[in-house]
Amino acid sequence: MRALMRFPESLLHDPAVNGWMDSHSGELGAVAQHWFDVLRRCGDDVRELLHDGHPTACVRDAAFAYVNAFTAHVNVGFFCGAELPDPAGLLEGTGRFMRHVKLRPGVKVDAAALKTLIEAAYADVKVRLQAEGAVQSIAG
């Protein structure tokens, strides 16, 4: 199991994330806002911050997903996306760890499948955090 990306500076509600949302208006901004709200609603333990200039969702301090708006699309990205089940084939990317779903205006997305990916990423990071705790307990 790979090490988690940690952001101890994450907050329950980061005003910088709201500022980012305010600065991304229009259709792409609305798409980014919608999917980041889905990330926020995964659980009471979700925290957030701006990382590399885009909204990032964490469980405690461990990142599991992000949104980012580009000129013609929005990405919903997953830090351990290469290991997520993706029966709908939504994930793109070829890196060792991260994957993303590209959302384009006027192109229908399987919202239920994307929500399932988000829920899987949230559950996955929680399992990874528990495993780290178990290893630390044994080592300590």
Q: Are 58 and 10 in contact (CB under 8 A)?
A: yes
The C-alpha atoms of residue 36 and residue 140 are separated, in whole angstroms, by 37
Does the pLDDT value for residue 77 go beyond 60? yes
Q: What is the pLDDT of residues 19-59, one digit of tens each?
A: 999 999 899 999 999 999 999 999 999 999 999 999 999 99
Q: How confident is the model at residue 1 (pLDDT cuts 50, 70, 90)?
A: low
* Residue 118 neighbours by CB under 8 Å, 6+ apart: 35, 38, 39, 42, 65, 76
* Burial class of 97 by CB neighbour count within 10 A (0 to 12, 13 to 18, 19+): middle
**Domain ranges within the chain, ordered by starting residue:** 15-129
pLDDT exceeds 90 at position 140: no
What mean pLDDT, rounded, does the chain reach? Answer: 93
47, with CB counted inside 10 A (0-12, 13-18, 19+), is buried
Assigned CATH topology for domain 15-129: Aspartate Aminotransferase, domain 1 (3.90.1150)
CA end-to-end distance (rounded Å), the chain: 20
pLDDT at 133: 77
Q: What was the pLDDT predicted at 3?
A: 76
Q: Which amino acid is at 24?
A: H
Q: How many CB atoms lie within 10 A of CB 57?
A: 27
**How far apart are the C-alpha atoms of 91 and 9, rounded to whole Å?**
28
